[in-house]
Amino acid sequence: MSWPLPRLVLITDWEMGERALLEAVEDLLPLGRAVAIQHRHPGAEGGQLLREARLLAARCERFGVPLFVNERLDVALVVGAHLHLPAPGPDVSDVRPFLPEGRWISVAVHDDREAERARGADLALVSPVFGAGSKSDDARPRLGPDGFARLARRLECPAFALGGVDAERARTLPPDVTAGVAAISAVLRAPRPRDPAQAL
């Protein structure tokens, strides 16, 4: 790894609208490498994903903020980003040979089977811990702090808690296995995103 991992991974929500999202991201960038941005836009086609990734990459580069691209290895390579693999995606070993040295791979983990598949990853986003403000129809059972800790201890890489995590709930997570947290609406939709980001 070329530098320490961030403490907060912010996942984009393009349903906010491009201008609102980019303004929220720009409010966070002065936090530097304590935060990373993950570019995720379900349903967007390749050209749109690449255009949005370039917008984010240009902003992140100025502040040294790591950028992850969700799922699309080709887009990550074009903009010089790290890669996030969703649960139904390829294994880490499938894509690692194509990434330049020093690029990270994060993975989504929801259960024991996915924790086993996470071998070789640099970090894992474990969810849903407390719920998911961005997925109101998500019916998966909540892991809670104990469930998160159990999965985190099965991982060979640092675990980040995702799903309804705010500053108060983050304090209930076991510090020995919590490398950081990931968030969407709790940060992006705040009046001043930097405030909840710093609290997390």
- Do the beta carbons of residue 66 and residue 38 sit within 8 Å? no
β-pairing verdict for 123-126 and 105-109:
parallel
Provide the pLDDT confidence category of residue 142 given band limits of 50, 70 and 90: very high
pTM of the model: 0.93
Summary mean pLDDT of the chain: 94
Tens of pLDDT, residue by residue over 150-192, are 999 999 999 999 999 999 999 999 999 999 999 999 999 999 9
Q: What is the DSSP string of 33-57?
A: GGEEEEE--TT--HHHHHHHHHHHH
Tens of pLDDT, residue by residue over 23-55, are 999 999 999 999 999 999 999 999 999 999 999
Of 43, 59, 44, 78, residue with least CA distance to 10: 59
Is residue 88 pLDDT above 90, yes or no? no
